[in-house]
Amino acid sequence: MTKVLVLGGYGAVGIPLMKQLAKVPEISAYSAGRDRARADVVVDLKEPGAYSAVVRDFDVVVNASGFEDVRLAEEAVRSGAAFVDITATSSYCEELEAVDGPVLMGVGLAPGLTSVLAAEAHRLGGGPVDIVIGLGGGELHGPAATAWTYGMLGTRFPDPDGRSIRNYTGMKTFRMPADATGYRSGPAVRADFSDQHALTRDLGVPVRTYLRLDTSTATLGLAAMTWAPALQKVVPKKLWGSDRWVAMARTDTGPALWVSGRSQSAATATIAARAVQVIRD
């Protein structure tokens, strides 16, 4: 029996992840967090000593909490566990890559599924790769995902050509697949998802990630807020739109590859659950 500890196991991604893992007879999964009413294992991730005492009893640790501290991974592997993280934060991923031990990242919708699409698009076509992530404004995202999205307002990241790019600028219009329900062709903006940097390095071509919401109005609103981050205070938690998502990768010479579905949180959970099963096998 493989024992899995899910940090943030009662959050937007954690809940569907726990449900997915519960379907696997060979896995025993436990949710972890500070809420005594919802956590199987009560632990404050900001207290390294408490985390260290807990993690040594598990074979795999999945971080779905949104709390990003490389010491979580270091302590997990030191205790003999594999560490899995659903993060999309570039700087944090760089720290995780330096950990000496079994650490797996890029196991969600983006990064994760987007990385697979981009690698295949590169194989089928030549030149730079564009990744487009479409998220439904109508989905009620968890606090960590919301904080991550708004946390990038006004911040910058390096482009493959060396330029400094402000998040949610560099607008570009993409023709979306006709069968991608809820997504008409429309604008998308640059966003600092971590896999574009690793893919640029590994594939040897520029890879750029663009983000859009399922309505052009919401996408344009995000682009405006990057110049006035304080506007996020007046944005409702749930926007107009659906919970449908789409992920697409394309080059100038090859076919556009895409996948769509409902609930990006559930999609990330499904991919993360599969990653845990692969580790167990």
Cα–Cα distances (Å) from 195 to 85, 115, 119, 209, in that order, read 13, 6, 11, 8
**Residue 237 clears pLDDT 70, i.e. is over it:** no
**Could you tell me the CATH superfamily of domain 2-105?**
NAD(P)-binding Rossmann-like Domain (3.40.50.720)
- Tens of pLDDT, residue by residue over 62-116, are 999 999 999 999 999 999 999 999 999 999 999 999 999 999 999 999 999 999 9
**83 dihedral zone (left: phi>0; alpha: psi -120 to 50; beta):** beta
pTM for the full predicted model: 0.91
pLDDT range class, residue 234, cuts 50, 70, 90:
low
Alpha helices by DSSP H, the chain: 14-22, 48-55, 70-78, 90-97, 113-124, 143-151, 195-203, 216-225, 264-280
Pick the CATH number of 113-263 from 3.20.20.150, 3.30.360.10, 3.40.50.720, 3.10.180.10: 3.30.360.10
What is the residue extent of each domain of the chain?
A: 2-105, 113-263
Q: What is the pLDDT of residue 238?
A: 57
Region 127-156: mean pLDDT is 86
pLDDT range class, residue 177, cuts 50, 70, 90:
confident
